[in-house]
Structure 1
Amino acid sequence: MPQAQTGYYPGVGGRLWWKSIDPETDAVPLILLHGGPGSPSDYLESLDVLGDERRVVVYDQLGCGRSDTPDAESLWRVETFVDALESLASDSGLETFHLFGHSWGGMLALAFYDKWPERVKSLVLASPLVSVQAWCADAARLIAELPPEHQAALAGSADTVEYQAALQEFYRRHFCRLDPWPPSLQRSVDGLAAAGYETMWGPNEFTQTGNLRGVDLTPIVRSLTIPNLWLCGSDDEATPETIRGFSHMNSYGDYVEFAGGTHNVHLEQPQAFVATLREFLRATD
Protein backbone atom coordinates (compact mmCIF):
# COMPACT_ATOMS: atom_id res chain seq x y z
CA MET A 1 0.00 0.00 0.00
CA PRO A 2 1.37 3.46 -0.87
CA GLN A 3 2.58 5.66 1.94
CA ALA A 4 0.02 8.19 3.15
CA GLN A 5 0.54 11.81 2.21
CA THR A 6 -0.61 14.55 4.58
CA GLY A 7 -1.05 18.29 4.35
CA TYR A 8 -3.24 21.30 5.04
CA TYR A 9 -6.01 22.82 2.96
CA PRO A 10 -6.99 26.49 3.48
CA GLY A 11 -10.67 25.79 3.87
CA VAL A 12 -13.79 27.67 4.98
CA GLY A 13 -13.17 29.11 8.43
CA GLY A 14 -9.63 27.76 8.75
CA ARG A 15 -7.13 25.17 7.56
CA LEU A 16 -8.13 21.51 7.31
CA TRP A 17 -5.61 18.75 7.96
CA TRP A 18 -5.93 15.91 5.45
CA LYS A 19 -4.42 12.51 4.73
CA SER A 20 -4.52 10.77 1.35
CA ILE A 21 -3.51 7.25 0.30
CA ASP A 22 -3.34 6.96 -3.48
CA PRO A 23 -2.58 3.56 -5.06
CA GLU A 24 -3.05 5.02 -8.56
CA THR A 25 -5.85 2.72 -9.62
CA ASP A 26 -9.00 3.33 -11.61
CA ALA A 27 -11.22 2.46 -8.64
CA VAL A 28 -13.56 5.19 -7.43
CA PRO A 29 -11.98 7.12 -4.52
CA LEU A 30 -13.38 7.04 -0.99
CA ILE A 31 -13.72 9.95 1.44
CA LEU A 32 -14.08 9.17 5.15
CA LEU A 33 -16.07 11.48 7.43
CA HIS A 34 -15.53 11.16 11.17
CA GLY A 35 -18.07 11.71 13.93
CA GLY A 36 -18.49 14.15 16.74
CA PRO A 37 -19.07 16.85 15.76
CA GLY A 38 -15.54 17.48 16.92
CA SER A 39 -13.93 14.06 17.29
CA PRO A 40 -10.65 13.93 15.34
CA SER A 41 -10.34 11.32 12.59
CA ASP A 42 -7.74 9.17 14.42
CA TYR A 43 -10.27 6.48 15.34
CA LEU A 44 -10.95 5.79 11.64
CA GLU A 45 -7.30 5.02 10.85
CA SER A 46 -8.05 1.27 10.77
CA LEU A 47 -9.87 1.96 7.48
CA ASP A 48 -6.61 3.07 5.87
CA VAL A 49 -6.23 -0.53 4.69
CA LEU A 50 -8.80 0.23 1.98
CA GLY A 51 -6.08 2.33 0.37
CA ASP A 52 -4.53 -0.79 -1.11
CA GLU A 53 -7.05 -0.72 -3.98
CA ARG A 54 -8.48 2.81 -4.17
CA ARG A 55 -7.62 6.33 -3.13
CA VAL A 56 -8.71 6.99 0.45
CA VAL A 57 -8.97 10.55 1.80
CA VAL A 58 -9.68 11.42 5.42
CA TYR A 59 -9.46 14.76 7.17
CA ASP A 60 -10.02 16.42 10.52
CA GLN A 61 -13.13 18.54 10.22
CA LEU A 62 -13.00 22.19 11.15
CA GLY A 63 -12.38 22.84 14.83
CA CYS A 64 -10.83 19.53 15.85
CA GLY A 65 -7.64 17.51 15.75
CA ARG A 66 -4.94 19.03 13.58
CA SER A 67 -7.33 21.41 11.80
CA ASP A 68 -7.94 25.01 12.77
CA THR A 69 -10.68 26.18 15.13
CA PRO A 70 -12.97 28.86 13.68
CA ASP A 71 -13.12 32.21 15.43
CA ALA A 72 -16.85 32.72 14.94
CA GLU A 73 -19.40 30.49 16.66
CA SER A 74 -21.67 31.08 13.66
CA LEU A 75 -19.46 28.71 11.63
CA TRP A 76 -20.48 25.76 13.79
CA ARG A 77 -23.29 24.65 11.47
CA VAL A 78 -23.96 21.88 8.98
CA GLU A 79 -23.62 24.17 5.95
CA THR A 80 -20.06 25.12 6.90
CA PHE A 81 -18.98 21.49 7.05
CA VAL A 82 -20.70 20.67 3.74
CA ASP A 83 -18.99 23.57 1.97
CA ALA A 84 -15.61 22.66 3.50
CA LEU A 85 -15.96 19.10 2.22
CA GLU A 86 -16.84 20.28 -1.28
CA SER A 87 -13.88 22.64 -1.43
CA LEU A 88 -11.45 20.02 -0.15
CA ALA A 89 -12.74 17.37 -2.56
CA SER A 90 -12.69 19.66 -5.59
CA ASP A 91 -9.20 20.98 -4.90
CA SER A 92 -7.99 17.40 -4.40
CA GLY A 93 -9.21 16.43 -7.86
CA LEU A 94 -12.08 14.33 -6.53
CA GLU A 95 -15.07 14.94 -8.75
CA THR A 96 -16.94 11.70 -8.02
CA PHE A 97 -16.37 9.50 -4.99
CA HIS A 98 -17.80 7.09 -2.46
CA LEU A 99 -18.70 8.83 0.79
CA PHE A 100 -18.38 7.07 4.17
CA GLY A 101 -19.85 8.78 7.22
CA HIS A 102 -19.69 7.50 10.79
CA SER A 103 -22.08 8.85 13.46
CA TRP A 104 -22.31 12.65 12.93
CA GLY A 105 -20.32 12.02 9.73
CA GLY A 106 -23.39 10.21 8.42
CA MET A 107 -25.46 13.38 8.76
CA LEU A 108 -22.71 15.33 7.01
CA ALA A 109 -22.62 12.76 4.19
CA LEU A 110 -26.38 13.00 3.66
CA ALA A 111 -26.31 16.80 3.73
CA PHE A 112 -23.50 16.82 1.17
CA TYR A 113 -25.42 14.43 -1.10
CA ASP A 114 -28.47 16.65 -0.86
CA LYS A 115 -26.49 19.61 -2.21
CA TRP A 116 -24.22 17.80 -4.69
CA PRO A 117 -25.88 14.46 -5.57
CA GLU A 118 -23.96 14.16 -8.85
CA ARG A 119 -20.66 14.01 -6.93
CA VAL A 120 -21.50 10.95 -4.82
CA LYS A 121 -21.16 7.45 -6.28
CA SER A 122 -22.46 5.71 -3.16
CA LEU A 123 -23.06 6.31 0.54
CA VAL A 124 -21.85 4.17 3.43
CA LEU A 125 -23.63 5.26 6.59
CA ALA A 126 -22.06 3.65 9.65
CA SER A 127 -24.03 4.06 12.89
CA PRO A 128 -25.22 7.40 11.51
CA LEU A 129 -26.99 10.36 13.04
CA VAL A 130 -29.94 11.05 10.73
CA SER A 131 -32.73 12.34 12.94
CA VAL A 132 -31.92 14.07 16.23
CA GLN A 133 -35.33 13.15 17.59
CA ALA A 134 -34.81 9.46 16.77
CA TRP A 135 -31.30 9.49 18.27
CA CYS A 136 -32.54 11.00 21.53
CA ALA A 137 -35.46 8.58 21.71
CA ASP A 138 -33.06 5.65 21.28
CA ALA A 139 -30.76 7.06 23.97
CA ALA A 140 -33.66 7.41 26.40
CA ARG A 141 -34.65 3.79 25.80
CA LEU A 142 -31.09 2.54 26.30
CA ILE A 143 -30.71 4.54 29.50
CA ALA A 144 -33.96 3.01 30.77
CA GLU A 145 -32.29 -0.41 30.42
CA LEU A 146 -29.44 0.55 32.78
CA PRO A 147 -29.55 -0.43 36.48
CA PRO A 148 -31.77 1.94 38.52
CA GLU A 149 -28.82 3.52 40.31
CA HIS A 150 -27.22 4.45 36.97
CA GLN A 151 -30.50 5.87 35.66
CA ALA A 152 -30.81 8.02 38.77
CA ALA A 153 -27.20 9.20 38.49
CA LEU A 154 -27.59 10.25 34.84
CA ALA A 155 -30.63 12.30 35.80
CA GLY A 156 -28.51 14.26 38.27
CA SER A 157 -25.37 16.37 38.28
CA ALA A 158 -22.55 15.49 35.90
CA ASP A 159 -20.03 16.43 38.59
CA THR A 160 -20.65 13.35 40.76
CA VAL A 161 -18.69 10.11 40.88
CA GLU A 162 -21.96 8.24 40.38
CA TYR A 163 -22.71 10.13 37.17
CA GLN A 164 -19.30 9.34 35.72
CA ALA A 165 -19.69 5.67 36.62
CA ALA A 166 -23.09 5.54 34.92
CA LEU A 167 -21.68 7.33 31.88
CA GLN A 168 -18.87 4.80 31.59
CA GLU A 169 -21.36 1.94 31.84
CA PHE A 170 -23.43 3.42 29.01
CA TYR A 171 -20.31 3.80 26.88
CA ARG A 172 -19.17 0.25 27.69
CA ARG A 173 -22.50 -1.15 26.57
CA HIS A 174 -23.13 0.99 23.50
CA PHE A 175 -20.06 3.03 22.47
CA CYS A 176 -17.08 0.65 22.65
CA ARG A 177 -16.73 -2.48 24.75
CA LEU A 178 -13.04 -3.04 24.12
CA ASP A 179 -11.03 -2.68 27.33
CA PRO A 180 -8.85 -0.74 27.14
CA TRP A 181 -10.02 1.35 24.22
CA PRO A 182 -7.70 1.20 21.20
CA PRO A 183 -5.13 4.05 21.19
CA SER A 184 -6.70 5.57 18.06
CA LEU A 185 -10.10 5.84 19.75
CA GLN A 186 -8.60 7.17 22.96
CA ARG A 187 -6.79 9.88 20.99
CA SER A 188 -10.05 10.94 19.34
CA VAL A 189 -11.92 11.01 22.64
CA ASP A 190 -9.12 12.92 24.36
CA GLY A 191 -8.95 15.33 21.43
CA LEU A 192 -12.68 16.05 21.30
CA ALA A 193 -13.25 19.73 20.50
CA ALA A 194 -15.59 20.68 23.32
CA ALA A 195 -16.58 24.01 21.76
CA GLY A 196 -17.87 22.48 18.54
CA TYR A 197 -19.37 19.41 20.18
CA GLU A 198 -21.31 21.38 22.77
CA THR A 199 -22.36 24.12 20.34
CA MET A 200 -23.75 21.66 17.81
CA TRP A 201 -24.69 18.66 19.96
CA GLY A 202 -24.46 18.97 23.73
CA PRO A 203 -22.61 17.77 26.87
CA ASN A 204 -22.68 14.04 26.07
CA GLU A 205 -23.89 11.39 23.62
CA PHE A 206 -27.44 11.30 24.96
CA THR A 207 -28.10 14.94 25.88
CA GLN A 208 -28.94 17.17 22.90
CA THR A 209 -28.90 20.90 23.60
CA GLY A 210 -27.01 22.32 20.61
CA ASN A 211 -27.95 23.90 17.31
CA LEU A 212 -28.63 20.53 15.66
CA ARG A 213 -31.82 20.34 17.68
CA GLY A 214 -34.73 19.32 15.49
CA VAL A 215 -32.60 18.39 12.47
CA ASP A 216 -34.11 15.47 10.58
CA LEU A 217 -32.62 14.29 7.28
CA THR A 218 -35.14 11.48 6.82
CA PRO A 219 -36.55 13.17 3.67
CA ILE A 220 -33.08 12.97 2.10
CA VAL A 221 -32.87 9.27 2.95
CA ARG A 222 -36.21 8.70 1.22
CA SER A 223 -34.96 10.51 -1.89
CA LEU A 224 -31.70 8.56 -2.34
CA THR A 225 -31.19 7.21 -5.86
CA ILE A 226 -27.67 5.82 -5.40
CA PRO A 227 -26.50 2.66 -3.59
CA ASN A 228 -26.52 3.23 0.16
CA LEU A 229 -25.18 0.82 2.77
CA TRP A 230 -26.19 1.11 6.42
CA LEU A 231 -23.97 -0.46 9.09
CA CYS A 232 -24.30 -0.78 12.86
CA GLY A 233 -23.61 -3.08 15.79
CA SER A 234 -26.33 -5.06 17.51
CA ASP A 235 -25.67 -3.09 20.73
CA ASP A 236 -25.04 0.25 19.03
CA GLU A 237 -26.28 3.52 20.50
CA ALA A 238 -27.49 4.09 16.93
CA THR A 239 -29.86 1.20 17.45
CA PRO A 240 -30.41 -1.56 14.87
CA GLU A 241 -34.15 -0.93 14.83
CA THR A 242 -33.65 2.68 13.82
CA ILE A 243 -30.81 2.12 11.35
CA ARG A 244 -32.56 -0.82 9.71
CA GLY A 245 -35.64 1.38 9.32
CA PHE A 246 -33.65 4.06 7.53
CA SER A 247 -32.18 1.49 5.15
CA HIS A 248 -35.67 0.47 4.06
CA MET A 249 -36.75 4.02 3.19
CA ASN A 250 -35.47 3.83 -0.39
CA SER A 251 -35.12 1.01 -2.89
CA TYR A 252 -31.32 1.37 -3.12
CA GLY A 253 -30.55 0.74 0.54
CA ASP A 254 -28.85 -2.28 2.11
CA TYR A 255 -28.29 -3.08 5.78
CA VAL A 256 -25.62 -5.07 7.63
CA GLU A 257 -25.63 -5.62 11.39
CA PHE A 258 -22.61 -6.89 13.33
CA ALA A 259 -23.61 -9.18 16.21
CA GLY A 260 -22.15 -8.05 19.53
CA GLY A 261 -20.90 -4.76 18.11
CA THR A 262 -21.34 -1.25 19.48
CA HIS A 263 -20.99 2.24 18.01
CA ASN A 264 -17.33 1.55 17.19
CA VAL A 265 -17.79 -1.90 15.73
CA HIS A 266 -15.20 -1.07 13.05
CA LEU A 267 -12.62 -1.31 15.88
CA GLU A 268 -14.20 -4.29 17.62
CA GLN A 269 -14.63 -6.39 14.46
CA PRO A 270 -12.18 -4.84 11.97
CA GLN A 271 -11.84 -7.76 9.58
CA ALA A 272 -15.58 -8.28 9.13
CA PHE A 273 -16.20 -4.55 8.87
CA VAL A 274 -13.53 -3.96 6.22
CA ALA A 275 -14.60 -7.03 4.25
CA THR A 276 -18.18 -5.71 4.15
CA LEU A 277 -16.95 -2.32 2.97
CA ARG A 278 -14.74 -3.83 0.27
CA GLU A 279 -17.55 -5.93 -1.12
CA PHE A 280 -19.94 -2.99 -1.30
CA LEU A 281 -17.43 -0.55 -2.82
CA ARG A 282 -16.29 -3.03 -5.45
CA ALA A 283 -19.88 -3.80 -6.42
CA THR A 284 -20.74 -0.11 -6.81
CA ASP A 285 -17.55 1.05 -8.57
Structure 2
Amino acid sequence: MPHCTSYDGTEIAYRDQGEGPVLLALAGGPGRDAAYLGDLAGLDTVRRLVVPDGRGTGDTAPAPDPLAYSFPRLAQDVEALRRHLGLERFALLAHDAAAATAQAYAAEYRDRLTHLVLVAPGSRLQGVRPDDARAIFESRAGEPWWPDAVAALGELESADDLDRVRELLLLVAPMAYGRWDAPQRDHAAAEGAQTHPVPRAGFWQGVDEQARQSLLDRLREVTCPVLVVTGDRDAVTGMRAGEVVADSFPHARLRPLHAVGHYPWVDEPALFRPVVEEFLASGAAPGPS
Protein backbone atom coordinates (compact mmCIF):
# COMPACT_ATOMS: atom_id res chain seq x y z
CA MET A 1 0.00 0.00 0.00
CA PRO A 2 1.19 3.56 -0.61
CA HIS A 3 1.92 5.77 2.40
CA CYS A 4 2.09 9.46 3.19
CA THR A 5 4.04 11.14 5.99
CA SER A 6 1.88 13.00 8.50
CA TYR A 7 2.72 15.98 10.72
CA ASP A 8 4.65 13.93 13.31
CA GLY A 9 6.48 11.64 10.90
CA THR A 10 3.96 8.79 11.13
CA GLU A 11 3.46 6.94 7.86
CA ILE A 12 -0.26 6.78 7.02
CA ALA A 13 -1.18 3.90 4.70
CA TYR A 14 -3.94 4.39 2.18
CA ARG A 15 -5.76 2.54 -0.58
CA ASP A 16 -6.02 4.32 -3.93
CA GLN A 17 -8.28 2.87 -6.61
CA GLY A 18 -10.40 4.01 -9.53
CA GLU A 19 -10.20 7.10 -11.70
CA GLY A 20 -11.88 10.48 -11.74
CA PRO A 21 -12.27 13.23 -9.14
CA VAL A 22 -10.97 12.19 -5.74
CA LEU A 23 -13.35 10.97 -3.05
CA LEU A 24 -11.45 10.50 0.21
CA ALA A 25 -13.32 8.12 2.53
CA LEU A 26 -12.79 7.79 6.29
CA ALA A 27 -13.60 4.65 8.29
CA GLY A 28 -15.38 4.85 11.62
CA GLY A 29 -15.61 2.45 14.52
CA PRO A 30 -13.84 4.30 15.97
CA GLY A 31 -10.62 2.35 15.56
CA ARG A 32 -11.80 -0.03 12.85
CA ASP A 33 -9.80 -1.14 9.81
CA ALA A 34 -10.89 0.76 6.72
CA ALA A 35 -11.26 -2.53 4.83
CA TYR A 36 -14.90 -2.69 5.95
CA LEU A 37 -15.75 0.21 3.64
CA GLY A 38 -14.92 -1.94 0.61
CA ASP A 39 -15.50 0.04 -2.59
CA LEU A 40 -18.58 1.76 -1.14
CA ALA A 41 -21.00 0.10 -3.54
CA GLY A 42 -18.76 0.68 -6.55
CA LEU A 43 -18.08 4.37 -6.13
CA ASP A 44 -14.57 3.65 -7.40
CA THR A 45 -16.03 3.17 -10.89
CA VAL A 46 -16.83 6.89 -11.11
CA ARG A 47 -14.40 8.34 -8.57
CA ARG A 48 -10.80 7.95 -7.55
CA LEU A 49 -11.46 6.41 -4.15
CA VAL A 50 -8.74 7.11 -1.58
CA VAL A 51 -9.19 5.31 1.76
CA PRO A 52 -6.62 5.82 4.54
CA ASP A 53 -6.02 3.45 7.42
CA GLY A 54 -6.33 5.36 10.68
CA ARG A 55 -3.53 5.24 13.20
CA GLY A 56 -3.22 1.83 14.80
CA THR A 57 -5.49 0.18 12.22
CA GLY A 58 -4.86 -1.66 8.97
CA ASP A 59 -1.35 -1.00 7.66
CA THR A 60 -0.82 2.22 9.63
CA ALA A 61 1.38 2.00 12.72
CA PRO A 62 0.12 2.82 16.22
CA ALA A 63 0.40 6.43 17.35
CA PRO A 64 3.50 7.38 19.39
CA ASP A 65 1.35 9.86 21.34
CA PRO A 66 -2.01 8.56 22.66
CA LEU A 67 -3.62 11.94 21.92
CA ALA A 68 -2.86 11.38 18.23
CA TYR A 69 -5.83 8.99 18.19
CA SER A 70 -8.21 11.86 18.98
CA PHE A 71 -10.46 12.91 16.14
CA PRO A 72 -9.03 16.47 15.77
CA ARG A 73 -5.55 14.99 15.38
CA LEU A 74 -6.87 12.44 12.88
CA ALA A 75 -8.16 15.40 10.87
CA GLN A 76 -4.54 16.55 10.62
CA ASP A 77 -3.70 13.20 9.04
CA VAL A 78 -6.38 13.92 6.41
CA GLU A 79 -4.70 17.25 5.67
CA ALA A 80 -1.32 15.53 5.36
CA LEU A 81 -2.84 13.09 2.86
CA ARG A 82 -4.35 15.95 0.86
CA ARG A 83 -0.97 17.61 0.60
CA HIS A 84 0.68 14.32 -0.31
CA LEU A 85 -1.80 13.74 -3.13
CA GLY A 86 -1.33 17.29 -4.40
CA LEU A 87 -5.03 18.12 -4.17
CA GLU A 88 -6.23 21.70 -4.14
CA ARG A 89 -9.77 20.65 -3.20
CA PHE A 90 -11.53 17.30 -2.84
CA ALA A 91 -14.70 15.55 -1.73
CA LEU A 92 -14.70 13.90 1.70
CA LEU A 93 -16.92 11.03 2.88
CA ALA A 94 -16.98 9.72 6.44
CA HIS A 95 -18.88 6.90 8.09
CA ASP A 96 -20.03 6.52 11.69
CA ALA A 97 -17.59 8.01 14.24
CA ALA A 98 -15.34 9.29 11.45
CA ALA A 99 -18.01 11.93 10.87
CA ALA A 100 -16.45 13.71 13.87
CA THR A 101 -13.04 13.62 12.17
CA ALA A 102 -14.58 14.95 8.97
CA GLN A 103 -16.34 17.75 10.85
CA ALA A 104 -13.08 18.69 12.56
CA TYR A 105 -11.43 18.81 9.14
CA ALA A 106 -14.24 20.91 7.67
CA ALA A 107 -14.03 23.35 10.57
CA GLU A 108 -10.28 23.81 10.11
CA TYR A 109 -9.95 23.50 6.34
CA ARG A 110 -13.34 24.37 4.92
CA ASP A 111 -11.87 25.90 1.74
CA ARG A 112 -10.33 22.54 0.83
CA LEU A 113 -13.64 20.72 0.47
CA THR A 114 -15.89 20.58 -2.57
CA HIS A 115 -18.43 18.26 -0.94
CA LEU A 116 -18.87 16.52 2.41
CA VAL A 117 -20.81 13.25 2.83
CA LEU A 118 -21.56 11.97 6.34
CA VAL A 119 -22.98 8.45 6.46
CA ALA A 120 -24.79 7.20 9.60
CA PRO A 121 -23.17 9.78 11.88
CA GLY A 122 -23.61 9.97 15.60
CA SER A 123 -24.14 13.32 17.31
CA ARG A 124 -21.80 13.02 20.29
CA LEU A 125 -19.79 15.95 18.95
CA GLN A 126 -22.95 18.06 19.06
CA GLY A 127 -23.50 17.05 22.67
CA VAL A 128 -26.84 15.40 21.86
CA ARG A 129 -27.71 11.73 22.33
CA PRO A 130 -31.07 10.98 20.63
CA ASP A 131 -32.80 7.83 21.83
CA ASP A 132 -34.43 6.68 18.59
CA ALA A 133 -31.76 4.01 17.95
CA ARG A 134 -33.16 2.11 20.92
CA ALA A 135 -36.68 2.45 19.55
CA ILE A 136 -35.52 1.10 16.18
CA PHE A 137 -33.90 -1.83 17.97
CA GLU A 138 -37.05 -2.58 19.97
CA SER A 139 -39.16 -2.43 16.81
CA ARG A 140 -37.25 -5.42 15.46
CA ALA A 141 -38.04 -7.70 18.41
CA GLY A 142 -39.80 -10.20 16.15
CA GLU A 143 -36.64 -11.06 14.20
CA PRO A 144 -34.88 -14.38 15.02
CA TRP A 145 -31.57 -12.83 16.10
CA TRP A 146 -33.13 -10.38 18.57
CA PRO A 147 -33.11 -12.43 21.84
CA ASP A 148 -29.41 -13.27 21.49
CA ALA A 149 -28.64 -9.64 20.66
CA VAL A 150 -30.43 -8.42 23.79
CA ALA A 151 -28.48 -10.81 26.01
CA ALA A 152 -25.19 -9.91 24.31
CA LEU A 153 -25.81 -6.18 24.75
CA GLY A 154 -26.23 -6.70 28.46
CA GLU A 155 -22.99 -8.65 28.74
CA LEU A 156 -21.03 -6.16 26.62
CA GLU A 157 -21.40 -3.52 29.30
CA SER A 158 -19.08 -5.44 31.64
CA ALA A 159 -17.06 -7.70 29.31
CA ASP A 160 -13.30 -7.06 29.42
CA ASP A 161 -11.91 -10.11 27.61
CA LEU A 162 -11.17 -9.09 24.02
CA ASP A 163 -12.03 -12.49 22.54
CA ARG A 164 -15.38 -12.52 24.34
CA VAL A 165 -16.07 -8.94 23.27
CA ARG A 166 -15.56 -9.98 19.66
CA GLU A 167 -17.99 -12.88 20.09
CA LEU A 168 -20.58 -10.54 21.58
CA LEU A 169 -20.11 -8.01 18.77
CA LEU A 170 -21.09 -10.68 16.26
CA LEU A 171 -24.23 -11.52 18.26
CA VAL A 172 -25.36 -7.88 18.28
CA ALA A 173 -24.28 -7.23 14.68
CA PRO A 174 -27.73 -7.81 13.08
CA MET A 175 -29.04 -4.63 14.72
CA ALA A 176 -26.67 -2.66 12.49
CA TYR A 177 -28.12 -3.92 9.21
CA GLY A 178 -31.39 -3.56 7.41
CA ARG A 179 -31.65 -7.35 7.13
CA TRP A 180 -29.54 -10.35 8.09
CA ASP A 181 -28.75 -12.05 4.78
CA ALA A 182 -25.49 -13.46 3.42
CA PRO A 183 -23.87 -10.12 2.46
CA GLN A 184 -24.62 -8.69 5.89
CA ARG A 185 -23.36 -11.80 7.69
CA ASP A 186 -20.12 -11.80 5.72
CA HIS A 187 -19.58 -8.11 6.37
CA ALA A 188 -20.26 -8.45 10.09
CA ALA A 189 -18.02 -11.50 10.52
CA ALA A 190 -14.92 -9.35 9.98
CA GLU A 191 -15.77 -6.70 12.59
CA GLY A 192 -14.12 -8.34 15.61
CA ALA A 193 -10.73 -8.72 13.96
CA GLN A 194 -10.97 -5.23 12.44
CA THR A 195 -11.62 -3.41 15.72
CA HIS A 196 -8.70 -2.09 17.77
CA PRO A 197 -9.29 -1.07 21.40
CA VAL A 198 -6.50 1.51 21.83
CA PRO A 199 -7.44 3.74 18.86
CA ARG A 200 -11.07 3.30 19.87
CA ALA A 201 -10.42 4.44 23.44
CA GLY A 202 -8.40 7.46 22.34
CA PHE A 203 -10.79 8.81 19.72
CA TRP A 204 -12.78 11.16 21.99
CA GLN A 205 -9.92 12.15 24.30
CA GLY A 206 -8.30 15.56 24.67
CA VAL A 207 -11.24 17.70 23.50
CA ASP A 208 -12.60 19.98 26.21
CA GLU A 209 -15.91 21.83 26.14
CA GLN A 210 -14.40 25.06 24.86
CA ALA A 211 -12.69 23.30 21.94
CA ARG A 212 -15.86 21.38 21.12
CA GLN A 213 -17.98 24.53 21.06
CA SER A 214 -15.41 26.37 18.96
CA LEU A 215 -15.46 23.55 16.42
CA LEU A 216 -19.26 23.65 16.23
CA ASP A 217 -19.22 27.42 15.79
CA ARG A 218 -16.84 27.09 12.84
CA LEU A 219 -19.10 24.54 11.16
CA ARG A 220 -21.55 27.39 10.58
CA GLU A 221 -18.95 28.87 8.23
CA VAL A 222 -18.57 25.76 6.07
CA THR A 223 -19.71 26.70 2.58
CA CYS A 224 -19.47 23.38 0.74
CA PRO A 225 -22.63 21.31 0.25
CA VAL A 226 -23.12 18.62 2.88
CA LEU A 227 -25.08 15.37 2.55
CA VAL A 228 -26.09 13.39 5.64
CA VAL A 229 -27.27 9.83 4.94
CA THR A 230 -29.27 7.89 7.54
CA GLY A 231 -31.08 4.55 7.58
CA ASP A 232 -34.48 3.83 9.09
CA ARG A 233 -33.24 0.46 10.46
CA ASP A 234 -30.04 1.80 11.96
CA ALA A 235 -30.20 0.69 15.60
CA VAL A 236 -26.63 1.88 16.20
CA THR A 237 -26.83 5.66 15.68
CA GLY A 238 -30.46 5.98 14.62
CA MET A 239 -31.79 8.74 12.39
CA ARG A 240 -32.25 11.73 14.68
CA ALA A 241 -28.50 12.05 15.22
CA GLY A 242 -28.18 12.68 11.49
CA GLU A 243 -30.75 15.45 11.76
CA VAL A 244 -28.76 17.07 14.57
CA VAL A 245 -25.54 16.85 12.54
CA ALA A 246 -27.19 18.28 9.42
CA ASP A 247 -28.47 21.21 11.48
CA SER A 248 -24.87 22.08 12.38
CA PHE A 249 -24.14 23.20 8.81
CA PRO A 250 -25.58 26.09 6.78
CA HIS A 251 -25.83 24.04 3.56
CA ALA A 252 -26.73 20.47 4.48
CA ARG A 253 -29.34 18.13 3.10
CA LEU A 254 -30.61 15.05 4.91
CA ARG A 255 -31.30 11.85 2.97
CA PRO A 256 -32.97 9.05 4.95
CA LEU A 257 -32.93 5.65 3.24
CA HIS A 258 -35.64 3.00 3.67
CA ALA A 259 -34.85 -0.56 4.84
CA VAL A 260 -31.26 0.47 5.48
CA GLY A 261 -29.17 0.09 8.62
CA HIS A 262 -25.79 1.43 9.69
CA TYR A 263 -24.04 0.23 6.53
CA PRO A 264 -26.18 1.41 3.60
CA TRP A 265 -23.67 0.36 0.93
CA VAL A 266 -24.04 -3.22 2.20
CA ASP A 267 -27.82 -3.24 2.67
CA GLU A 268 -28.86 -1.36 -0.47
CA PRO A 269 -25.89 -0.67 -2.75
CA ALA A 270 -28.15 0.11 -5.71
CA LEU A 271 -29.83 2.81 -3.62
CA PHE A 272 -26.80 4.19 -1.80
CA ARG A 273 -24.46 4.68 -4.74
CA PRO A 274 -26.78 6.82 -6.91
CA VAL A 275 -27.63 9.05 -3.96
CA VAL A 276 -23.95 9.77 -3.34
CA GLU A 277 -23.10 10.03 -7.05
CA GLU A 278 -25.87 12.55 -7.67
CA PHE A 279 -24.78 14.65 -4.72
CA LEU A 280 -21.11 14.65 -5.73
CA ALA A 281 -22.07 15.66 -9.27
CA SER A 282 -23.94 18.71 -7.94
CA GLY A 283 -22.32 22.12 -7.82
CA ALA A 284 -19.53 22.66 -5.33
CA ALA A 285 -18.93 25.77 -3.26
CA PRO A 286 -16.56 28.34 -4.79
CA GLY A 287 -12.90 27.76 -4.06
CA PRO A 288 -10.72 30.13 -2.03
CA SER A 289 -10.15 33.50 -3.67
In the superposition, the TM-score normalised over structure 1's length comes to 0.79
Aligned-residue offset at 1:15:
1.8
Number of matched residues?
A: 268
**Would the alpha carbon gap of residues 165 and 153 (structure 1) be closer, same or farther in structure 2, given more than 3 Å must change?**
farther
Aligned to 1:11: 6
RMSD over aligned Cα, in angstroms? 3.4
Corresponding residue number in structure 2 for 1:173: 175
Change (3 A) 1:262 1:79: same
Q: What letter is aligned with 2:128?
A: A
1:86 Cα deviation after fit: 0.6
Letter in 1 for 2:2: G
How far 1:7 sits from its partner (Å)? 1.2
TM-score scaled by length of structure 2:
0.78
Task: State the 1:211 CA deviation.
Answer: 5.4
Structure 1 residues 38 and 111: CA distance shift in structure 2, 3 A: same
Asked if the contact 1:95/1:119 (under 8 Å) is kept, the reply is: yes
Mapped partners of 1:32, 1:168: distance in 2: 25
Within a 5 Å distance, the mapping from 1:251-262 to structure 2 comes to 251-262=250-261
Aligned partners of 2:272 and 2:187: how far apart in 1?
Answer: 17
Structure 2 CA distance for partners of 1:213 and 1:115, relative to 1, 3 Å: closer
Corresponding position of 1:92 = 85
Matching residue's letter, 1:20: D
Of structures 1 and 2, the one scoring higher in RCO (CA 8 A, sep 6+) is 2
Indicate which of 62, 68, 82 corresponds to 2:55. Answer: 62
SS in 2 for 1:47: coil
Deviating more after overlay: 52-61 vs 139-148 = 139-148
How far, CA to CA, are the matches of 2:244 and 2:267 in structure 1? 24
Residue 30 of structure 2: SS of its match in structure 1? Answer: coil
Contact 1:36 / 1:197 at 8 angstroms: preserved in 2?
yes
Residue 235 of structure 1: how far off its partner (Å) = 1.9
Residue type at the aligned position of 1:17: A
User: Any idea what the Cα deviations from partners look like across 1:195-229, whole Å, max 9, x if unmatched?
Assistant: 1112335xxxxxxxx65686576445444322100
Which position in structure 1 is the counterpart of 2:190? 187
> Which residue pairs with 2:287 in the alignment?
none
Q: 128, 134, 139: which is aligned to 1:134? A: 128
Match of 2:74 among 81, 102, 105: 81
Q: What is the CA-CA distance between 1:97 and the residue it aligns to? A: 0.4
Contact 1:48 1:56 in 2 (8 A): no
Give 2:243's aligned residue: 244
User: Which runs of 5 or more structure 1 residues have no equivalent in the other structure?
Assistant: 1-5, 202-209
Identical pairs, percent: 21
Structure 1 letter corresponding to 2:180 = L
Hey, what's the Cα distance between the residues in 2 that align with 1:213 and 1:264? Answer: 30
